[in-house]
Amino acid sequence: MADHAGATTYVFDFAEGNKDLKDLLGGKGANLAEMSNIGLPVPPGFTITTGACRVYLATGAEPVSLRAEVDEHLARLEDRMGRRLGQADDPLLVSVRSGAKFSMPGMMETVLNIGLNDQSVEGLAKQSGSERFAWDSYRRLLAMFGRTVLGIDGEHFEQAIDEAKQAKGTTSDLDLEAPDLRVLVATYQQIVREQTGREFPQDPREQMDLAVRAVFGSWNAPRAVLYRRQERIPADLGTAVNVVAMVFGNLGMDSGTGVAFTRDPATGEKGVYGDYLQNAQGEDVVAGIRNTVPLAELERIDKMSYDQLLSIMATLEHHYRDLCDIEFTIERGHLWMLQTRVGKRTAAAAFRIATALVDEGLIDHDEAVRRVTGDQLAHLMFPRFDTDSSATRLASGVNASPGAAVGRVVFDSAAAVAWAGRGEHVILVRRETTPDDLHGMIAAQGILTSRGGKTSHAAVVARGMGKTCVSGAEELTIDLAGRRFTTSDGQVVVEGDVISIDGTSGEVFLGEVPVVPSPVVRYFEGALAADADPLVAAVDRLIGQADRARRLGVRANADTPEDADRARRFGAAGIGLCRTEHMFLGERRELVERLILADSATEREGALAELEVLQRADFEAILAAMDGLPVTIRLIDPPLHEFLPDLTELSVRVAVAEARGEDPGHDQVLLAAVRRLHEENPMLGLRGVRLLLVIPGLLAMQVRAIAWAAAARRVAGADPRPEIMIPLIGSVQELELAREESQKVLGQVAAESGTTVSTPIGTMIELPRAALTAGVIAGAAEFFSFGTNDLTQTTWGFSRDDVEAAFFARYLDLGIFGVSPFETLDREGVGRLVRIAAQEGRAARPDLHLGVCGEHGGDPDSVHFFHQVGLDYVSCSPFRVPVARLEAGRAALVEAGGSDTR
């Protein structure tokens, strides 16, 4: 933002901002400004913009004008407060807090109580009338500044305070009195000297400047980078810095700090939700250092503040039209608002809150659809624990983030990452988590802590990631050094033991608890009525609205009648990919072997004839399951050797037989065939249309089976709608030859059966050359279906089966990928090929039907891209069909002018 002279402005008072300036002021700064604007009690302060951070990160230095701007705004703050930063007799103290555009809880830095030094601590004691409070605030500054700004391992400070409590014979820091805290401050200062070789800075302005730079730098801290990658937050945004006059929750038992939610972030229900901690500062609540009391207890502790808080919560929810997450402090009976933001919530809460806000008239149905995501819906479809099982209950805690997680117990993040890396499912067990545990939390199936509540670090981060979490399980005594925990009844669980945690009920069980389908899946299966469960009712409403809004059709990838039937129940409008090669597996491999080993046309035709009978029955069953809806049948794609035994396995069997003097028999014949068909790179070898054109009779057999199946269904009075898809086209000549033979067979069957079934013929676009020559290929195709799995492989030059295990993890760490290109479509490369093919295909043939049948068809981000490109449908696995339906609706609503609020 520039002022009237054109110079960039880097600092804004809260009165100058609003909630729509998150790009400039970050989420925290924008919302502090908004709360100030609507008259809520916010401590005064100012925000240093994200632009200043970007300059600092790019150049290693602050913008030239920044110091003067900070001077000006600090002077205004001092004038308003009637005190000077760190003045000896009555000091103004400030906090320096990070605040990016997108919430990154605990990932960046905050420093409280800046302005305290050896002189001003005495003034604070005198001004407050509490020597203990002043020295407690000073020791907090030393520890936070030491960790955050000076890079000292926080364990040094933790050990010092633990020793102080042991010497006092207590486990609570509240029992440390002013003389104890004086000694602790001296110990902390000694730690600073020993670890850094310098004294703790006594100049308040130096403290503030160093803290601001530390917050800037924390944008690129490893845990922040990891969190952004996990949440797909752009790396170039930077963080704002908020400098706020301190208000104190650690002034005594008439003071405190807390976190509140306007609705339950776990379930979405209305009520009084949150945590409160008397005589504490905000870090104590989030860190879970002491267990909090439920927010409802504040009514008993301080009814006036409680009533005011509830009024403010209602104001904020109505103002933001959403669940709000609020941080507050009470200073000797005076309530202060320190932060608000649209709160993170579980998947279940997202759906229930969205529909509740519609019913309350705050948003409309379209906005409600924009506020839920396909990822959240997918999470709701995960299985749940069977509550009727006889599992052994170990403990109960706070149901911080719902879900059912099973895994082996590990006690630190490094172990979680290592064990998960070798394929183990793990549960990360900690007393409480810190931001440094993020990599372990990502690796784990679930998180269990013995401290903290619904607003602890573990709870907030787990909800944001969709991880199962149980926090505050006080019945557990965790021995990190011994790698074990003990329950209240003496049962010991050691590292490696399997436990199950239920984030919905907060229960912890020994061993693996069986699971049952979720209510949402039962609803889609038709086994549960929409009105039988409030969550299911919310899902039903929003899926229905998405269906009404979407332009994209949604089909399913299905190879069996059972899959087709399930897909239809889940809302699929047809089959976008029926893979015929799956019909050659199992007992039918023998027929494929006969086809491959045939020495004459007669033997080959005999094998094909038997396969045709089986394929026809398969196609009839699938067309019956999808009667009245399109069924796109892809002719055989993989190379034939995939239906034969493994080369190495066969070679060993033959060698062993020969070594024993035995006749290898049929194995010898098979081995010769496998060697003849062996390819160094079968993905780019004799497969797809190449196979269909090279093996006489193979294409005709499959088309004939499809045609007779459709004819039989039509004669029976049904409405079959088959579509024939030719795979792996690289040139239009390949498609023309395959199309010519297919049409000849279709005509023969129509003549013989006396019935004609319209059967469009199209192709998969899965090679870059096909995409780049789509305008020509469209002349021979009635539809394109983008096979984005193979298109990704051939565009990147990847062999998926090899590269994902070989180096994808490293590429993700290096930032080469933000996400695997097999998970979410690579828009710049593969997506550009899709766009070119769609545009040039439609230009050549305006009625060309366009779809996608790779795994990307069920990926939420990719669905939005396919909508933008103008495809007619996406196709995905049956269980992803509801996800695709929802995201297709959201894509249409975003295009129509609404923002994507994911």
Per-residue pLDDT reduced to its tens digit, 589-608: 777 778 877 788 898 899 89
Active site residue 73: no
Neighbours of 361 (CB within 10 A): 8
Residue 612 CA to residue 698 CA, distance in Å, equals: 10
Q: What radius of gyration, in Å, describes the C-alpha atoms of the chain?
A: 33
Residue 674 CA to residue 597 CA, distance in Å, equals: 10
pLDDT at site 902: 46
pLDDT one-digit tens code per residue, 221-268:
988 888 888 788 888 999 999 999 999 998 989 999 999 999 999 899
Q: Is the pLDDT of residue 855 over 90?
A: no
**Are 235 and 815 contacting, i.e. CB atoms less than 8 angstroms apart?**
yes
Q: Is the pLDDT of residue 288 over 70?
A: no
Neighbours of 463 (CB within 10 A): 24
Please enumerate in sequence order all residues whose Cβ is within 8 A of that of 681, keeping only pairs 6 or more positions apart, or say none.
799
Task: Find the catalytic residue in 457, 641, 856, 864.
Answer: 457
User: 3-class DSSP state for residue 264?
Assistant: coil
Q: Is the pLDDT of residue 4 over 60?
A: no
pLDDT one-digit tens code per residue, 743-755:
999 999 999 999 9
Q: Is the pLDDT of residue 900 over 70?
A: no
Q: Is the pLDDT of residue 438 over 90?
A: no
pLDDT at site 377: 95
Question: Of 186, 208, 206, which Cα lies nearest the Cα of 138?
Answer: 186
pLDDT one-digit tens code per residue, 489-516:
999 999 999 999 998 888 999 999 988 8
Instruction: Tell me which long-range contacts 291-298 makes (C-beta under 8 A, separation of at least 24).
Output: 291/451, 291/452, 291/453, 291/472, 291/474, 292/258, 292/452, 292/453, 292/455, 294/453, 295/258, 295/260, 296/272, 298/256, 298/258
Active site residue 853: yes
**Are 728 and 765 contacting, i.e. CB atoms less than 8 angstroms apart?**
no
Task: Find the catalytic residue in 53, 324, 578, 853.
Answer: 853
Neighbours of 494 (CB within 10 A): 12
Instruction: Tell me which long-range contacts 892-899 makes (C-beta under 8 A, separation of at least 24).
Output: 892/549, 892/550, 892/551, 892/552, 892/867, 893/366, 893/369, 893/370, 893/549, 894/370, 894/864, 895/867, 895/868, 896/366, 896/549, 898/366, 898/367, 898/370, 899/370
The percent of residues above 70 in pLDDT, for the chain, comes to: 97
Please enumerate in sequence order all residues whose Cβ is within 8 A of that of 76, keeping only pairs 6 or more positions apart, or say none.
13, 46
Tell me which DSSP letter residue 498 carries.
E
pLDDT at site 19: 94
Residue 164 CA to residue 512 CA, distance in Å, equals: 42
Q: Is the pLDDT of residue 901 over 60?
A: no
DSSP symbols for 434-487: -GGGHHHHHHSSEEEESS--TTSHHHHHHHHHT-EEEE--TT-EEETTTTEEE-
Question: Of 878, 824, 783, which Cα lies nearest the Cα of 554?
Answer: 878
**pTM here?**
0.83
pLDDT one-digit tens code per residue, 21-61:
999 999 999 999 999 999 999 999 999 999 999 999 999 99
User: Any idea which of 654-668, 802-816, 817-831 has the lowest mean pLDDT?
Assistant: 802-816
**Are 808 and 820 contacting, i.e. CB atoms less than 8 angstroms apart?**
yes
pLDDT at site 505: 85
Residue 19 CA to residue 145 CA, distance in Å, equals: 29
Residue 880 CA to residue 858 CA, distance in Å, equals: 5
Tokens read off for 771: 């995409």
Dihedral, CA of residue 172, residue 174, residue 176 and residue 182, to nearest 10: 130
Going 177 to 178 to 179 to 180, the CA torsion angle's sign is: positive
Question: Of 505, 498, 285, which Cα lies nearest the Cα of 395?
Answer: 505
Q: How many residues does the chain have?
A: 902
Residue 330 CA to residue 344 CA, distance in Å, equals: 24
Neighbours of 731 (CB within 10 A): 15
pLDDT at site 409: 97
